[in-house]
Amino acid sequence: MSAPELTEAPPVSAPATFPEPQREKGAVRSTIVRVVGSILLVAFALALLIPFAWMVLSSFKDSNEVFSVPVRWLPDTWHWEHYVDLWTKTDMATWLRNTIVLSTVVTFLQVLTGSFAAYGFAKVRFPGRDVLFLVYLATIAVPWQSYMIPQYIMLAQAHLTNTLLAIIVLQAFGAFGVFLMKQYFESIPEELSEAARIDGLNEYSIWARIMLPLSAPALASLALLTFVNTWNDYLGPLLYLRSKENWTVQLGLKNFVANNLDADYAMLFTGLTVSVIPIAIIFLLGQRFFVEGIATSGLKG
Amino acid sequence: MTSATADAIGSPPTPLKNRRSKLTLRNTMIGWSFILPNFIGFAIITLIPVITLFYVSLTDYNIFGKGDFIGFGNFEKLVSDPLFGRSVVNTFYYAVMHVPLTIAVSLGLALLLNTKLRGVAFFRTAAFFPYITSIVAIALVWNLLFSPDYGPINEFLRFIGIANPPGWLTSQEWAMPAIVIISTWRDMGYYMILFLAGLQTVPRELYEAARMDGTNALQRFWNVTLPGIRPTMFLVTVLLTIASFKIFDLIIVLSPGGTSAPNQATVVLSQFIYQKGFIESKFGYASAAAVVLFAICLGATVIQFFINKKRSA
């Protein structure tokens, strides 16, 4: 329970009236806290990173070597050929293409319609607006699992099952985007829109030429979160994409193990590594936007 | 829109009123034109399914199309379905382990990262990464890490002297704890960020004042930090509870056997819905279970809302 100590500012130096030994005791204690804190930090960092390291290192191993006892972390010889075979021996290329198409289209639609609707909620005053927004908000708390069946029945009647379009409509019109963008738009001073109106801009131009450029950070958060979510989505594709040519990366990799019992695990790890790399790059480039998007939407939700 | 037109008809046509209602009408048109592109998709994909869920749950709708209205028949059947009972118990078992564990770990992490230790910035980034990694990758990698005979985790346990380490995902008792470990590992970075944001709202002066009063670190944690982050704690608890009750994708990737007898240690509510609806094509029956899930999530939110209100009053 030394952690609470760490939440505070560096210890204020004790008043000079304190006897000397007590000051020393405090200094020793703060060093102990510091060391324990650092050890905890390193332990957590290892726990976080080891699964990823194991995944990447295993992709370079020989298939039999993946489960050697005792565990060898580094491969005996580095098998780069998995990264070539992945494209010829599996349908990774098809899965990747489908996933990229889905993630891009969904992100584009979500950012466009989400920010457009958010402007209506944040900057246009009309009767019924707040009730409508409440409806949006309320559905965020409803778990998707509880309405996936009626949703499936509807999309099946529209003959959308087993098409990529099903995943697009499923993901592109979420309430989350509207919510995130509305929060941000409301922080932009009304005077800017007023000034633009006096200059003769209509509401659509204000959205396009004033609000959008000013809300670049929020747009980036929304775009990155949507892209990553769609990329990682497993359940949507599991329910809707039955035929192999429509599979996404997640569905393909999952079935890679399910379909052959003596699966080539080194190849599986290669596929997993390839599927995680784009997300890692996007995350490293835009981590600020991820954290801000999560923190603001979470805190005000 | 309706109120705008009613206004125009119902009131005497004074020029000012007229102009105002015209403005309202104009604003309504503009407002809806902004919202409509998103709203159409939202209504079809979310709103209508949520509403029709309740109707479908009262029918015997199946793969052959039209279902007949059967009242509460599905719910009566649920009560006596042992698999459903099992999945409700398992879902609560998961939530009872996962919610406190994740709160403890992510709050501990946030306290640790709210300091000036070296490497904090790097760690803040690293801790968040599992949360944006796909469930499939996480599940497959951890599944092999947890492998009873060849996995690194059990090898480590044997190394530190545990002769008979658990069978994890292959054992009845340890499958659910293993899933809790995996999902806590994945979620902690996300909730840590929420806690960090909350910790930054606690005024520095309060700590100074408490220190003046001669309190120790533990007392300051109980009497300053915890009350100070109560809104965050409330938010995290609600989010985590709902997320726990709807746990699905991790379990469905980790238990390929589905709901057959030897795998029932980890059958949860969402999986039951999936199994009955999409594997056995009993849409009506599955929807009844979905209504139960809906009610549990709603109930959890409402209860926590009132507890929080009572405490802060």
ipTM: 0.84
Angle at which helices A92-123 and A175-186 pack, to 10 degrees?
A: 40
Both tokens of A282, joined, read 């996007």
- A285 neighbors A227 (Cβ within 8 angstroms): no
Q: Is A159 left (phi over 0), alpha (psi -120 to 50) or beta?
A: left
Give residue A102's pLDDT band: very low, low, confident or very high (50, 70, 90): very high
A94, two tokens: 């098809």
The domain segmentation of chain A, as residue ranges, is 3-56, 83-300
- SS3 annotation, B210-243: HHHCCCCHHHHHHHHHHHHCHHHHHHHHHHHHHH
Query: Residue B48 is which amino acid?
Result: I
The chain B residue lying nearest A150, using CA atoms, is B49
CATH architecture of residue range(s) A83-300:
Orthogonal Bundle (1.10)
Q: Average of pLDDT values for B204-227? A: 88
Rounded to an integer, what distance in angstroms lies between the CA atom of residue A92 and that of residue A97?
8
CB contacts, 8 Å: B118 with chain A: 38
**Is the model's pLDDT at B9 over the cut of 50?**
no
Confidence of residue A214 (pLDDT cuts 50, 70, 90): very high
| pLDDT at A3 exceeding the cut of 70 | no
Q: Is the model's pLDDT at A55 over the cut of 70?
A: yes
Of A44-48, A103-107, A245-249, which gets the smallest average pLDDT?
Answer: A44-48
- With both helix axes pointing from N to C terminus, report the angle between B230-245 and B175-199 in degrees, rounded to the nearest 10: 150
Mutate to test the interface with A, among B1, B2, B51, B133 (most CBs of A within 10 A): B133
Asked if residues A40 and B117 have their Cβ atoms less than 8 Å apart, the reply is no
What's the pLDDT score for residue A293? 77
Apex A295 CA angle, A292 and A301, nearest 5: 130
pLDDT of residue B262: 58
Please report which confidence band the pLDDT of residue B263 belongs to, taking 50, 70 and 90 as the band edges: low
- Give me chain A's average pLDDT, please: 84
List chain B residues with CB under 8 Å of A14.
Answer: none
The predicted-structure confidence for B114-128, as pLDDT tens digits, reads as follows: 887 777 878 887 888
DSSP B59: B
Q: How confident is the model at residue A262 (pLDDT cuts 50, 70, 90)?
A: low
Question: Residue A65: its pLDDT value, please?
Answer: 79
Nearest to A287 by CA among B109, B131, B84, B299: B131
Residues with Cβ within 8 Å of B242's Cβ and at least 6 positions away in sequence, in order, are: A141, A143, B297, B300, B301
User: What CA–CA distances, in Å, run from B310 to A293, B228, B299?
Assistant: 30, 16, 17
Give pLDDT, residue B271: 92
Compute the nearest-CA separation of A80 from chain B (Å): 20
pLDDT band at A260 (very low <50, low <70, confident <90, very high): low
Tell me which residue of A230, A264, A263 sits closest to A248, measured CA to CA.
Answer: A230
pLDDT digits (tens, 9 = 90+) for B172-195: 888 899 999 999 999 998 899 889
Confidence of residue B14 (pLDDT cuts 50, 70, 90): low
Query: In this predicted structure, which of A120-129, A150-159, B119-128, B270-279 has the lowest mean pLDDT?
Result: B119-128
| Contacting residues for A158 by C-beta, under 8 A, at least 6 apart | none
Q: Predicted confidence band at B258 (pLDDT cuts at 50, 70, 90)?
A: low
What residue segments make up the domains of chain B, in order of their start?
2-56, 81-312
> Residue B65 — φ and ψ, nearest 5°?
100, -135
CATH number of B81-312: 1.10.3720.10
How far apart (Å, rounded) are the C-alpha atoms in residues B215 and A265?
55
B79 or A16, greater pLDDT: B79
**Phi and psi dihedrals of A244, rounded to 5?**
-60, -35
Q: Range with the lowest mean pLDDT among A40-49, A256-265, B172-181, B209-218?
A: A256-265
Query: Contacts of residue A248 in chain B, CB cutoff 8 Å?
Result: none
Interface of B with A in 282-311 (CB under 8 A): 283, 286-287, 290-291, 293-294, 297-298, 301
CB–CB of B252 and A232 under 8 A? no
- Out of A124, A135, A231, closest to residue B34 by CB: A124
Tell the residue number behind the tokens 């009262």, with chain if given: B58
Q: Which two tokens stand for residue B89?
A: 């118990």
Residue A14 gets which letter from DSSP? P
Closest Cβ–Cβ partner in B109, B122, B290 for A147 = B290
| Residue B279 token pair | 């594997």
Choose from A5, A7, A42, A227 for mutation: most chain B CBs within 10 A.
A7
| Model pLDDT, residue A104 | 96
Q: Kindly tell me if the per-residue pLDDT of A15 is higher than 80.
A: no
Structure tokens at A23: 């000051």
CA dihedral over B166, B170, B176, B182, signed as positive or negative: positive
3-state secondary structure of B69: strand
**pLDDT at residue number B13:** 52
Letter string b/e over residues B64-75, b meaning 16 or more CB atoms within 10 A of that residue's CB: eeebeeeeebbe
Q: Quick one: pLDDT at residue B152?
A: 86
Q: Band of the pLDDT at A19, cuts 50, 70, 90?
A: very low
A44 contacts in chain B (CB < 8 Å): 109, 112, 123, 127
Question: How far, in Å, CA of B155 to CA of B50, rounded?
Answer: 47
Q: Does B93 touch chain A (CB under 8 A)?
A: no
Among A95-99, A260-264, A297-301, B117-121, the least confident range:
A297-301
Taking contacts as CB-CB distances below 8 angstroms, the residues of chain B near A265 are: 144
Beta bridge partner(s), residue B65: B62
pLDDT of residue A163: 94
Residue A146 and residue B297: Cβ atoms within 8 Å? yes
What residues contact B229, with CB distance under 8 A and at least 6 apart? B195, B198, B199, B201, B202
Nearest to B229 by CA among B102, B129, B103, B128: B103
Confidence of residue B65 (pLDDT cuts 50, 70, 90): low
Q: Give the pLDDT mean for B206-220.
A: 87
Q: Can you list the alpha helix ranges (DSSP code H) found in A59-202?
A: 82-89, 92-123, 129-140, 144-157, 164-172, 175-186, 190-198
Instruction: Report pTM.
Output: 0.86
Which residues on B lie below 8 Å from A145 (Cβ)? 246, 248, 269-270, 273-274, 290, 293
The reply to whether residue A67 touches residue B290, judged by beta carbons under 8 angstroms, is no
CA distance B159 to B141: 21
Give the model confidence (pLDDT) of B274-309 as tens digits. 999 998 989 999 999 999 999 998 888 888 888 877
Half-sphere exposure of B65 (CA within 13 A, CB side): 2
Hey, is the C-beta of B75 within 8 angstroms of any chain A C-beta? no
Q: How confident is the model at residue B259 (pLDDT cuts 50, 70, 90)?
A: low
**Per-residue CA distances from B258 to A2, A177, B253, B275 (Å):** 44, 34, 9, 8
Q: Could B134 and A231 be called an inter-chain contact, meaning their C-beta atoms sit closer than 8 Å?
A: yes
State the pLDDT at residue A44: 86
pLDDT band at A33 (very low <50, low <70, confident <90, very high): confident
CA–CA gap between residue A31 and residue B85 (Å, rounded): 53
Q: Closest approach of chain A CAs to the CA of B173, in angstroms?
A: 23
* pLDDT, mean over chain B: 86
Burial class for A182, CB neighbours closer than 10 Å (0-12, 13-18, 19+): buried
Q: Can you name the residues that pair with B69 across neighbouring β-strands?
A: B59
Q: What is the pLDDT of residue B170?
A: 82
Give me A194's structure tokens: 């007023």
Average pLDDT over residues A28-35: 81
The confidence score (pLDDT) of residue B142 equals 92
Measured in residues, chain B has a length of: 313
Instruction: Tell me the mean pLDDT in the region A271-294.
Output: 88
Contact (CB, 8 A) for A118 and A219: no
Q: Left (φ > 0), alpha (ψ -120 to 50) or beta: where does B71 sit?
A: left
Q: What is the pLDDT of residue A111?
A: 95
How confident is the model at residue B7, as a pLDDT?
A: 44
Q: Per-residue pLDDT for A250 more than 50? A: yes
CB contact under 8 A, A146 and B53: yes
For residue B182, what are the contacts with CB-CB under 8 A and spacing of at least 6?
B138, B139, B142, B250, B254
User: Would you state the torsion angle of the CA atoms of residues A66, A68, A72, A73, taken in this order, to the nearest 10 degrees?
Assistant: 20
